[in-house]
Structure formats: C-alpha cells, structure tokens
Amino acid sequence: MQHTALADQTLELHDPHSFVTKYIWSQDHKVIAIQYGLTAVFVGLVALVLSALMRLQLGFPDTFDFITPGAYLQFVTMHGMIMVIYLLTALLLGGFGNYLIPLMVGARDMVFPYMNMLSYWMYLLSVIILLASFFVPGGPTGAGWTLYPPQAILQGTPGYDWGIILMLVSLAVFIIAFTMGGLNYVTTVLQARTRGMTLMRMPLTIWGIFTATVLGLLAFPALLVSAIMMLLDKTIGTSFFMPALVSLGENLDYTGGSPVLFQHLFWFFGHPEVYIVALPAFGMVSDVLACHARKNIFGYRMMVWAIVAIGGLSFVVWAHHMYVSGMHPAFGFFFATTTLIIAVPTAIKVYNWVLTLWQGNIHLRVPMLFAIGFIFTFIHGGLTGLFLGNVTIDLPLSDTYFVVAHFHMVMGVSPIMVLFAAIYHWYPLITGRMLNDALGKAHFWLTFLGTYAIYLPMHYLGFLGVPRRYFAMGSTDFIPESALSLNASITVSALIVGASQLIFLFNVFWSLRHGEKAPHNPWGATSLEWQTPDVPPKHGNWGPELPTVYRWAYDFSVPGAERDFIAQNEPPDAAHPTSGELGGAS
C-alpha cells in the first residue's frame, strides 16, 4: 500500500523557509532524528559520568568525600533510568527510527510530521524535568531504576520528596512523547511505503524498529499506569501500592496496598523494554553485517519471524524479574519456561548472523568491527540470561554482580555496540563526510576489550555473592580482599572505556568539517536510504519522483551482476539476472 498524500503531493511537505523552521521547530524527520540523537547522547553522557562516580566509590572506597551513601544510590538510579529510557530507547527509535524509516521505505517524511515534531519537544521536556531533579531539595530519587514502592516514596530513600515526583512526571511526559513518535513510525511503515516495497522486501532494520515500536506502544502504558498510581500514592495519599506502615513509631495513613502489584506492572513494561532496545539493534546489525560481508543475510524470513516471535513472547516472561518477590511455584515454572523458549528465536538470529559471515567477503571496516563485537557481547550476555531464567539458579544469584554483568552485556554493551556500528555506517549519509578510520578502530578496540575488562570479572564477583547496589562492602567472611582489588581494576577499566568515548566524540565533531567527503553510497549498500539523489538527503528525500522498488535489500555478490550489489530500486534488465528480474515498473 502506498500513501499518496506524501508520495505525490509535495505541497504536503511544509518546506522550511527560515533557520527556525529548518533546524529548531522542524517537521523534517531527518532534523528531528538528529535533535533526538544529540539530546539522547547528551543525557547519556550525564549517565556515563554518573557511572564513573559510582565506580570510583566502589573501586576506591573512603576516598571521595562527596560521594555519600545517599548520593551513590542517586547515581545508581539516574544512571540506570537515563541509559535505558532516555538514551537507548530515545536514540534507537527517536533517533535512528526517525532517520531511517522514511528513507528505507521510500517515503518523503513521516506521515504525521507535526506530531513527530511535538514528539521531540515533549521528549526534550521530559529530559529537562528529569535533569531538574538534580537541583531540587533532596536531589534526584535514589530508589533504584525500578522505583519499587514503598521505599521509593518514603523518608529514608534519597529524593523521596521532590526527586521521585519529578522522575514520575518525567516518565509520564516521555511516554506521551514516545507514543506520538511511535504512532508515526508504525503508521509510516504500514501506509507510506513506496511502490514495490512490500513488507517482506523491507530491510531488517525496519522490521526491528517496527516491531519494537509496537512493543513500546503496548508496553509503555504499563509504566504510565504505575507512574500515575504511584504519583497519587505520593501526593494525595492513596494506597494503590502502599501497604499499611509504621514509620518512626507512627502509623502512616496508607492502608493495605500491594507493592508486588507495582512490580508486576513495572516488569510488564520492563521486560518488553529489553526488546524495545534489542530489536532495533538486531535489525540494524543484520543490515550492517550483510553489507560489510557483501553477502545476503542468511535466513531473511526466519529473521523476520524471529523478530515477531521475540516481540510476542516478550509479553509473557516479565515475572522472571520477580522470582525473589515470591510467587506460586506454578508461575515460577511458567515464567522460567517462557523465558527459555524466547531463547530459541534469539539463538536463531545469532546463528543466522554467524552464517551470514560464513564465506562472506568480509570487510573489517569500523562498522563491521562493532557489528562483530556485538555478536560476541550478545552471545555472552544471552548465555548468562539462561542461568538467570531458571528459578533455582536465579535465587542465589539475584541482586549480585552477576545480574549486573548479565544485563549490562545483553542490553547495555550490545545495543551500544550496534549504535556505534550504526553511527559509523550511516554517518556518511547523515553528514556527507566519512569518519576517521584510525580513530574509529582505536575507539572500537578500547571499547570492546574495555567492556570485557569491566564485565567479565563482575560475573566472578557475583558468584562470590557480592551484592549490587551497596555503597561499600565492609568486612564480610565471603568477600575476600582479592575481590576488592578486582573492583579497583574494574573501576580503572571503566574509566578508560569512559575516556575512550572522547575519541568517538572528537571523531564525530572533527569529521563534520574535516572528514573526507563521502562518495555516493560509500559502502555499496543496496537499501533505499543510500539511493537518494542528494547526500545528505534534502527535504522531501527523493527529488521529484519517488523510487520504485524491484527487489529485497540483500542482493549482494549476485553471480553475473556488474557490481557486487544491486540496489533495491535498480530496474531489472539483462545485465542483472536476479530476483525481481521479471518485475515490472507499472
């Protein structure tokens, strides 16, 4: 199906006429994507600094006076929430989703550009509200990123007064922003594809972003519901989640609410959130791998099915985050089983990525290095997930550094590796310049090896029983001195990895002006975003006429073809005896 209003009527495009309408109140999906991207990276850097402060405390306790136990908990909370929601979700969907969807499906823009613009400004508002909590009395909330009641809103937890209110309001605003953006993404994919772009000809990037957006649209309401109800518990004194409590010898006004109810709601959002982050990364890494291995993606259909299956299954595994909260044994069995079942489509994807590399013509350029790095980190994080998915193994490991190591490998490092792969891959399209290769390789090796130096030892600490979220370990029988030395080594690694991101930032800003001018389609990619008449694409993307698609996005190294790739919009003729050769333009 095609969307004629945007396809053929360029009057609908709201051409910008001034600096303000072009770069600030812009309705162009590419500008909005960059706005999303820059804001997300900025707030992500704040979270990176917070993690460095946490690590300084853990590695060198009693050294930094300004890191109090309360401040430490605030760093933990804000680091987690910012990284998961305000960086990863925003950058993958608001940033790359916005930039790539219209270009990859052959549309001129999102179908609701005004709403798209509003989405960004609401997102910015949510970030401002969140960061404002650093400047209110009591500072930001220190309740942990899961914000479990009753402690989140009770005296004793840092930021129990203003910090938690600002956090909950910020989340609600973020969800409104995401919903406005998400409606655009799914509707654009379903209704604004150009002629010939069938669903099964879409690149996997679009499948990943589309499915993740559907997950987000259906899962974020759970967070919204829990945020609204907890806000009422905090401000008006309702008892949705708050049980009857005695605090400092006094009975509080709360009556018999259920904290576990909050946990169910939170994780009904929280687990799909893992895949809201992972699925776009799965899609993008598939395209980067195929392009730089000059080989069609192995098992395209299976990859699509796996994305859809993972999306569906992600709604029935949430309680594996709550084994220690207590539940009926049958539920534990059910959620452990579904958790292990979701490993099947995920494993299929991993096999297919590896088989795509098999006998490919691999070009170890920087995007490819990050993509291959992702396969390592994701397998690593995925395998430890199999441990934690089992109730009996999870119970002793719960709330230890093993869990920290697991989720950082699987949904911290892995999506970040893909984000770097994506930035190195699509930077030439976005800016018209190439990133510096040597700096990129230095950035990759420091990041890749550095993250292993951080997270591999954490698994060992977890096996020892070192608990997470603790400000200081103190002296215990089960944590030997060597574990503390290991913590110091992890901190040094973390600081090196953090500092190495400066190489990346320098590269991005330096290359904007001084980078080599990007040739048209520098990687020899087949997908539509590289086939625009201008690089970077101009407003409206496609000039006077929309492209017509004749084939899927993975015709690399086709026998008999002139070049080692055939673009999706290249008309079939005798020189290209390949799929779609019988397709007609009309």
Partner 1 sequence: MSLFSTLREKPWEPQPALAGHPTPADPLATPRTALRFIMAIVGVLFFLFIITFLSRSQYPDFQALAGQPWQPFSDTSRLWFNTALLAASSLAMHIAVLVAQREHLNRAVLGISLAVFFAIGFLLAQLDLWQRLMAAGYYINSNPANSYFYLLTAVHGLHLLGGMVVLANLLFRVWYDDSLATLSGPLSLCAQYWHFLLAVWLLLFALLASSPDTINTLAALCGF
Binder to partner 1 among 34, 58, 172, 222 (CB under 8 A)? 222
* Residue 399 contacts residue 467 (beta carbons within 8 Å): yes
* Residue 116 contacts residue 209 (beta carbons within 8 Å): no
> Residue 17: left (phi > 0), alpha (psi -120 to 50), or beta?
alpha
Binder to partner 1 among 125, 128, 136, 228 (CB under 8 A)? 228
Size of the site for partner 1 (CB under 8 A): 64
- Measured in degrees and rounded to the nearest 5, phi and psi for residue 504 equal -65, -50
Q: Across the strands, what pairs with 433?
A: 517
Q: In angstroms, rounded to a whole number, what is the distance separating the alpha carbons of residues 506 and 496?
A: 16
Q: Judged by CB under 8 A, does residue 349 bind partner 1?
A: no
- Measured in degrees and rounded to the nearest 5, phi and psi for residue 467 equal -80, 150
532: nearest Cα among 198, 31, 227, 99: 99
Q: Which stretch binds partner 1 (CB under 8 A): 131-139, 164-172, 519-527, 543-551?
A: 543-551
Whose Cβ is closer to partner 1: residue 142's or residue 580's? 580
Residues numbered 103 to 122 that lie near partner 1 (CB under 8 A) are: 111-112
Q: Judged by CB under 8 A, does residue 225 bind partner 1?
A: yes
Q: Which stretch binds partner 1 (CB under 8 A): 79-87, 93-101, 192-200, 430-438?
A: 192-200
Binder to partner 1 among 308, 393, 473, 496 (CB under 8 A)? 308
* Residue 279 contacts residue 311 (beta carbons within 8 Å): yes
The burial class, CB within 10 Å (0-12 / 13-18 / 19+), for 60 is middle
Whose Cβ is closer to partner 1: residue 168's or residue 265's? 265
Distances (CA, A) of 109 to 194, 207, 451: 12, 18, 37
Q: Judged by CB under 8 A, does residue 554 bind partner 1?
A: yes
- Which element (helix H / strand E) includes 251? strand 250-251
Binder to partner 1 among 311, 382, 450, 580 (CB under 8 A)? 580
Whose Cβ is closer to partner 1: residue 296's or residue 346's? 296
Q: Which stretch binds partner 1 (CB under 8 A): 83-91, 142-150, 233-241, 497-505?
A: 233-241
Q: Which stretch binds partner 1 (CB under 8 A): 51-59, 236-244, 364-372, 473-481?
A: 236-244
Least separation, in Å, of the C-beta of 319 and partner 1?
Answer: 12
243: nearest Cα among 150, 147, 327: 150
Least separation, in Å, of the C-beta of 560 and partner 1?
Answer: 14
CB neighbours of residue 239 within 10 Å: 18
3-state SS assignment for residue 48: helix
Q: Judged by CB under 8 A, does residue 275 bind partner 1?
A: no
Q: Which stretch binds partner 1 (CB under 8 A): 296-304, 345-353, 371-379, 424-432?
A: 296-304
Binder to partner 1 among 261, 383, 449, 473 (CB under 8 A)? 261
Q: Judged by CB under 8 A, does residue 251 bind partner 1?
A: no
Least separation, in Å, of the C-beta of 322 and partner 1?
Answer: 14
Least separation, in Å, of the C-beta of 281 and partner 1?
Answer: 22
Q: Judged by CB under 8 A, does residue 581 bind partner 1?
A: yes
Question: In this structure, is the dihedral angle defined by the CA atoms of residues 160, 71, 46 and 215, taken in order, positive or negative?
Answer: negative
Binder to partner 1 among 186, 313, 336, 486 (CB under 8 A)? 186
Q: Mark out the alpha helices in 244-328 (DSSP H runs).
A: 259-293, 300-313
Please, what's the b/e burial string for 169-200 (b: 16 or more CB within 10 A of its CB; e: otherwise)? bbbbbbbbbbbbbbbbbbbbbebbbbebbeee
Residues numbered 56 to 85 that lie near partner 1 (CB under 8 A) are: none
For residue 359, what are its two tokens?
Answer: 């006998």
Q: Judged by CB under 8 A, does residue 151 bind partner 1?
A: no
E strands present in 364-451: none
Q: Across the strands, what pairs with 517?
A: 433
Whose Cβ is closer to partner 1: residue 164's or residue 404's? 164
Q: Judged by CB under 8 A, does residue 534 bind partner 1?
A: no
| Identity at 3, one-letter amino acid code | H
Binder to partner 1 among 137, 256, 474, 559 (CB under 8 A)? 256
The bridge status of strand 250-251 relative to strand 246-247 is antiparallel
Q: Which stretch binds partner 1 (CB under 8 A): 84-92, 160-168, 402-410, 575-583?
A: 575-583
464: nearest Cα among 450, 482, 451, 452: 482
Binder to partner 1 among 123, 268, 298, 370 (CB under 8 A)? 268
- What value does the CA radius of gyration of the chain take, rounded to a whole number of Å? 24
Binder to partner 1 among 2, 286, 352, 511 (CB under 8 A)? 2
* Residue 147 contacts residue 141 (beta carbons within 8 Å): yes
Binder to partner 1 among 10, 187, 325, 500 (CB under 8 A)? 187
Q: Judged by CB under 8 A, does residue 407 bind partner 1?
A: no
* Residues at the contact surface with partner 1, assessed by CB under 8 A: 1-5, 111-112, 179, 183, 186-187, 190-192, 195-196, 198-201, 217-218, 221-222, 224-225, 228-229, 232, 236-240, 244, 253, 255-258, 261, 264-265, 268, 296, 300-301, 304-305, 308, 548-552, 554, 579-586
